[in-house]
Structures are given as structure tokens and as C-alpha cells.
Structure 1
Amino acid sequence: MKTPAPEGTAALDVRGACARYQNADVLHGIDLTVEPGRVTALLGANGAGKTTFLRCVLGLMPVHRGEMTSGSVTVLGREVTRASAQRRIKAGLAIVPEGRRLFADLSIEQNLRIGASTRRDKEIGQDIEQLLERFPALQRPKIQAGYLSGGEQQMLAIGRALMARPKVLLLDEPSLGLAPLVVDSVFETIASLAQDGIGVLLVEQNAERALQASSHAVVLQAGKVVRSGASAELADDPVIQESYLGVAS
């Protein structure tokens, strides 16, 4: 299920994103680029605007009684700023939401098929087989998702997103509530997705792991970009170390 992007084209390019809820401005001119086959981390404290940014990228602001007031969203060179969420998925976006949000009463296979709801091709069954091979813990396709462990559910959530054959995968707090060994497995999966050519935007409270897993990082504070650059450089930045990595200055 490799999904390489056209050479020289950014997988995701967001320019000048501004957003508000009712009369409150919450994002102030955010620029962010995700390259094919690379992981970009989006960091910041709770309330910094990370989830709002993801909603802007996916076209979900109206669902949450907000709006993207200015800026542009481009996927693989195609501007989707005014497109519906469904059209953005067809253009190449997919998300693994915080908390996974699986259909607990449906089986593994049914959850995976929901991820392919925007597709009309005849290769859905083949993709399910490939995903079950990729995630051995899911090789019980008739089991209800609600009976899976937290780590298994996270893998199913990732698999469901992959069923859309995305060029850009948005991951919202993928390590939340998981045991350390399971977190290791999740980040190994993220690395393998990038190796497959998918551009990954990683929103993660565990800043240390996010910086280790990514090549580039953007730090938000109060809806503004306060740091941006190579992840290795940010990991060595004293301000980042004190504010996000728990290293005293």
C-alpha cells in the first residue's frame, strides 16, 4: 500500500492559517509543510491550537462552530481550502483521531471497511488482507473492536486511516494512554509509514518522542508559531528543553 507523492511536491502545505470560534481568534497565521516520506511534529501545550489546526486542515471547523478565516490548505499541489472534508480525504488526507474513536460494536474488518468509504475501486479486500499482515494483532477480523486492548485499538485506528490510501496521515496524540512498550510499537509503525512515502503530521504531547520520530517540528503557543526547524536542533534548544522536555536550565 505504498503511496508515493509526485516528486518535488509537498504532501501538505498550509499557509497563513487563521481561525476563530465565534468571536475568539485562536490561530494566527500558521505556516506548516509536510514533505512526502517525512514526519513533521506539531508541538505545544494544551490549548495552544494543535487540534484546531488539524480541524482546519481537514475542513472540520464548521462542525465545531468555528471557521478558518484566512489562509490556504494544499494537498499534493491541489488547493482544498474550500473543499469539504470528504473531498479532502479523496485528495489524500486521513486522520487517526485522539482517543481512536473506533466503532466498538463493529468488527475489525467492518472498521477497516469504514476507512475505505470514499473509495469505489475493487481492491478494498486486498488492502484489508495487506493490513492484517502488517498488523498481526488484528488477524482476528471478526472480533469486535471493543474487545481489543488499547494498543490493538490504536493499530486498528491507524489501519482504518490507511484504508483511504492517504498521501498525508494526521496523527492526533497516538501514544495517549498506552503502555511504554506499546508506545514503542506505535512509533515504529509511524516510521514505517514514512518509509512507505506517506507524509505524516504528528501531534503528540510526548515531545521527546515526537522530536525523535520527526525530521521537522513546529511549536505552537497561543495559536502562533514560536519555534520551527529541524527536530534535532529543537531538541537541543534550551527553551524547548525547559518548556517541553522537562530539562531544567
Structure 2
Amino acid sequence: MAEPFLIGEGMTGGYGGTTILNDCTISVDRGEIAVIVGPNGAGKSTAMKAVFGMLDLTAGSVRLDGRDITRLAPQDRVPEGMAFVPQNANIFAGMTVRENLEMGAYLRRDDISGTMEQVFDLFPILREKQRQNAGELSGGQRQQVAVGRALMTRPTVLMLDEPTAGVSPIVMDELFDRIIEIRRAGIAILMVEQNARQALEIADHGFVLVTGENRYTDTGAALLANPEVRRSFLGG
């Protein structure tokens, strides 16, 4: 079988001498959604950060489209096609919505207007509020700004850390709908999500982590149907 488009394989590492990930493997293909779920403290966000180069690995590797990028710094992975949206501090609150989106394209030297229109088509509220300071928006709208700014880099991989944290169920459903649309454009989406059941419903693949290790790896549908996964991680 062909290797996944993006794979963090056998990743072991942590912070300050404390090992958090233990032989953890995460992967995603083009045009697919892969979701990392698990209990609090399972190492979900750490695994995401490791794939993006924000964690020094003591073992394992990260490969993008067959190329070993393990030693690339996070800022050097952006030109390679990776975009990362952190859970917190993911917008410039004192800048307008449009300025936030323009900041996402700071590495580009071509015409960004077409990509800007695509973001506005995906998130119509951002077109309406493009002259408003991003810090004045609702939590869900700020998340749209953060995702839109990442899309301005024209990524091949979009990484989302808890994209629905702190938003209402209605806003969560809307964000998931937009994530599905992004996948249809052929972008690989890797995300950590606290709303595990809902995330697995839209996921092509899921990774259940416990104490930094892979406990279950399967399709989203198979994980939802697994009695042990349902009992231990999805509330029955």
C-alpha cells in the first residue's frame, strides 16, 4: 500500500525531559479527514504539535508526500504546504478580518484575491465583517477567521487543534460542515477534537490515544461502532 500523504510515524517525545508520546503514529491522506481523540491528558495536541515540528522527537519521523521533514522547523513546513491552527491565540484581535486573512498570505508573491474570494465564499460572514476588528467577533466567527487565514497559505494539509472548543452545538455543526467542504477541495485535514463522537462521524480515519500511545486506529465509522471505544471514550 502507498504511504499516506502525511505521516508521523513512531513518534516519541515530550517537554523538559518528560516523555508524552510513546511510539505514536498519526497519518492522513489527501482529501481525507483524520481525527485524533482520547481522554484529557492523552497527548492529542502534543501529537498534532509533533507532526508540525513543535516538539523535538527522540524517536520516529514525520514525512510529507514521501519526503522526510522531521528536522524542519514549523515555519519551514508552511511553504511545504502545512498550515496549523492552534486552539488559542489564533487570530490578531486588533486587526480587521481582512487584515488577518492577508497575514495568512504573507509568504505569497502572487495575486491572493482569488483565494480571498474562496475564503469569503466558504465563510460568508467574514465577507460581511471584513472591515471589523477580529477581536470583536463571536467565538465561532473568530474560529472562521483562524481557519480562513490558514487557507490563505493554500495548504495541502490543514491541521486544526480543537476547532470547536467553546462554541455552541449549532456553531460546531456549521464548522464541521465547512471542514467537510475543505476536504472536498482535496486538502488533507488532521484535527484534534474534544467532541469525539461528532468528529468521528465526519472522519475518514480516527486515532484514539491514551497516555501518548495509539489505543485504537480505524475508520471513523468503525470506531463509532466499536463497543469498547463507545464505552470508554464516547460515553456509551
TM-score class, shorter: over 0.9
TM-score by length of 1: 0.90
Secondary structure in structure 1 of the residue aligned to 2:62 = strand
Q: Does 1:211 align with 2:205?
A: no
The 5 Å alignment of 1:61-76 reads 61=55, 67-76=56-65
In the alignment, the residues of structure 1 paired with residue 5 and residue 35 of structure 2 have an alpha-carbon distance, to the nearest angstrom, of 14
Contact conserved, 2:122 with 2:178, CA < 8 A, in 1?
A: no
The 5 Å alignment of 1:230-245 reads 230-245=219-234
What is the percent sequence identity of the aligned residues?
38
Alignment gaps of 5+ in structure 2: none
1:162 positional shift: 0.4
2:183 corresponds to which residue? Answer: 194
Contact conserved, 1:73 with 1:81, CA < 8 A, in 2?
A: yes
1:200 positional shift: 0.7
In the alignment, the residues of structure 2 paired with residue 58 and residue 24 of structure 1 have an alpha-carbon distance, to the nearest angstrom, of 19
In the alignment, the residues of structure 2 paired with residue 22 and residue 182 of structure 1 have an alpha-carbon distance, to the nearest angstrom, of 37
1:9 positional shift: 6.3
2:119 corresponds to which residue? Answer: 131
2:10 to 12, 16, 19: 16
Residue type matched to 2:36 in 1? L
In the alignment, the residues of structure 1 paired with residue 71 and residue 53 of structure 2 have an alpha-carbon distance, to the nearest angstrom, of 8
The 5 Å alignment of 1:162-177 reads 162-177=151-166
| C-alpha RMSD over aligned residues | 1.4
In the alignment, the residues of structure 1 paired with residue 13 and residue 166 of structure 2 have an alpha-carbon distance, to the nearest angstrom, of 29
Contact conserved, 1:173 with 1:202, CA < 8 A, in 2?
A: yes
2:218 to 229, 238, 243: 229
Q: Deviations over 1:59-108 (max 9, x none)?
A: 112xxxxx211211111222211111111111111112113521110011
Contact conserved, 1:100 with 1:153, CA < 8 A, in 2?
A: no
1:184 corresponds to which residue? Answer: 173
The 5 Å alignment of 1:37-186 reads 37-61=31-55, 67-99=56-88, 101-119=90-108, 121-139=109-127, 140-186=129-175
Q: Deviations over 1:162-193 (max 9, x none)?
A: 01111111111111111111111100011111
In the alignment, the residues of structure 1 paired with residue 176 and residue 155 of structure 2 have an alpha-carbon distance, to the nearest angstrom, of 18
Secondary structure in structure 2 of the residue aligned to 1:229 = strand
In the alignment, the residues of structure 1 paired with residue 131 and residue 74 of structure 2 have an alpha-carbon distance, to the nearest angstrom, of 29
Alignment gaps of 5+ in structure 1: 1-7, 62-66
Q: 4+ residue runs of structure 1 moved beyond 4 angstroms?
A: none
In the alignment, the residues of structure 1 paired with residue 52 and residue 13 of structure 2 have an alpha-carbon distance, to the nearest angstrom, of 13
The 5 Å alignment of 1:20-39 reads 20-39=14-33
Secondary structure in structure 2 of the residue aligned to 1:91 = coil
In the alignment, the residues of structure 1 paired with residue 156 and residue 197 of structure 2 have an alpha-carbon distance, to the nearest angstrom, of 25
1:5 corresponds to which residue? Answer: none
Q: Deviations over 1:112-134 (max 9, x none)?
A: 11111222x22223321321222
Contact conserved, 2:3 with 2:66, CA < 8 A, in 1?
A: yes
Residues 157, 232 of structure 1: alpha-carbon distance in 2 compared, 3 angstrom cutoff: same
